[in-house]
Amino acid sequence: MTRSDASEEYPDLTSVFDRSLEAHPVSARHRLPDHESLPSTAYQVVHDEAMLDGNARLNLATFVTTWMDDHAARLYAEAADKNMIDKDEYPATAGVEEACWHILADLWNAPDPEKAVGTSTIGSSEACMLGGLALKRRWQHARRAAGASTDRPNLVMSSAVQVCWEKFCNYFDVEARFVPITEEHPTLDGHDIDRYIDENTIGVVAIMGVTYTGMYEPVARIAAALDDLHARTGLDVPIHVDGASGAMIAPFLQPDLEWDFRLERVHSINTSGHKYGLVYPGLGWVVWRDASLLPDDLVFRVSYLGGQMPTFALNFSRPGAQVLLQYYSFLRLGRRGFTAVQRESQTVARHLAAGIARLGPFELWNDGSDIPVFAWRLREGDARNWSLYDLQDRLRMKGWLVPAYPLPDDLADRTVQRIVVRQGLSMDLAERFLVDLRAETAYLELLTTPLPDIAERSAFHH
């Protein structure tokens, strides 16, 4: 009997990489195979292909959780089959969801958390869409009641918003009014905000943890500017806080900073459970300070324990497991544990930022003292034959993913590089990163001729 005969007759006996699907490349990647494979073979092929991804723990680019403990992994596997929308079949998970957003309403200082309302989502993007839709619908109701036109709603925000806000404006026919960031005003800060607001403004977005740099926007100053505008013109414009990352940092590391429901103008807040909520992707949350701020005509009713449960979501089916994981992380850590975890991330971020500033060619954009995220750029005026894109490539050769990218709009000629420190990037790993960064920077500084620029290089890759 030849070897391949044996493989067909006794597939379980054949060594793993000798079986037919593994011994040849998958022939038609874009067509369903004609025949079955052994589960172990299909597993091996998919497992090996996923191995070609970067190592998630060395991905210093992502905000998303890349480490949870073994108990969380166990819960995740046990709950993988639960659909969040089936509230009738999984009433316990539905109850946990409600407990979680009440916990967030309390953490964000809602005047009466029992009067707040919220929901889980697939991430902050969906949560931001829901926040934006509620602003738009309330504005429409008010305009119709006043007999005014609802044709041209607009939303005011920094030019450094995450792309989900551009999507919201595009998908839901709202004009996006961007306030450009500049060297003098690196975040939206209320300065000159009157110029962007009129009777068609449905709201202002304030970001706690700008994606590009990690900086907080001063929500209280923005609210004060809007209070002033209200007093002068009668325009009463609410704020939605995009706290995708910062809403799970500020309550622990800057508890005295007023950015949340302590400010009356803040109607709603979103966060990503899968960022500093310390849960695997995808989970987001949005909470309104008071149920009256979420127009009832946006809410649908699903069947629940023989009754009806209100839901407000873009998706129907989505995983329920992450909601259970969020509750696990709340119970596991509590306020003290969350404070300790986030403080450690911040200590590591500031250590890294200080180490990078000391190297010489770099200038910090910020130092990780808001959320544990910071960005740097090359010192201006120095002649050199390399860019941050080259440094990104060199670090990638060592396994570290540290992206370089341009800042938005008015600062688009500035390239920065950013690190997001999360639970799991220990001080020891951070030290190893600094050793690699020092070595790669020294290598690049030795170059005597310029490397091809990023546009030439990406043409080559494609």
Positions in the binding site for ligand PLP (CB under 6 A): 63, 123-125, 128, 162, 164, 207, 209, 211, 242, 244-245, 272, 284
Residue among 155 and 437 whose Cβ is closer to ligand PLP: 155
Residue among 170 and 233 whose Cβ is closer to ligand PLP: 170
Q: How far apart are CA 339 and CA 27, in angstroms?
A: 51
Query: Could you give the angle at the alpha carbon of 26 between the alpha carbons of 20 and 28, nearest 5°?
Result: 130
Q: How far apart are CA 423 and CA 95, in angstroms?
A: 28
Residue among 316 and 443 whose Cβ is closer to ligand PLP: 316
E strand or H helix at 451, and its extent? none
Residue among 276 and 433 whose Cβ is closer to ligand PLP: 276
Residue among 190 and 282 whose Cβ is closer to ligand PLP: 282
Point out which residues pair with 178 in neighbouring strands.
157
Point out which residues pair with 310 in neighbouring strands.
301
Residue among 177 and 275 whose Cβ is closer to ligand PLP: 275
Cβ burial of 100 (10 Å; 0-12, 13-18, 19+) is buried
Residue among 165 and 338 whose Cβ is closer to ligand PLP: 165
CB of 231 to ligand PLP, least distance (A): 30
CB of 446 to ligand PLP, least distance (A): 36
CB of 347 to ligand PLP, least distance (A): 22
Distances (CA, A) of 41 to 25, 27, 34, 255: 12, 15, 15, 52
Distances (CA, A) of 380 to 364, 376, 387, 417: 12, 12, 12, 15
Query: Shortest CA distance to 268 belongs to which of 281, 252, 284, 287?
Result: 287
CB of 74 to ligand PLP, least distance (A): 24
E strand or H helix at 121, and its extent? strand 117-121
Query: Could you give the angle at the alpha carbon of 290 between the alpha carbons of 284 and 291, nearest 5°?
Result: 80
CB of 83 to ligand PLP, least distance (A): 20
Residue among 178 and 386 whose Cβ is closer to ligand PLP: 178
Cα 165 versus chain centre, distance? 13
Strand order in the sheet with 154-158: 117-121, 284-288, 266-272, 239-242, 201-207, 154-158, 175-179
Would you tell me how many other CB atoms lie within 10 Å of the CB of residue 73?
12
What amino acid is encoded at 141 in this protein?
H
CB of 457 to ligand PLP, least distance (A): 25
Residue among 325 and 444 whose Cβ is closer to ligand PLP: 325
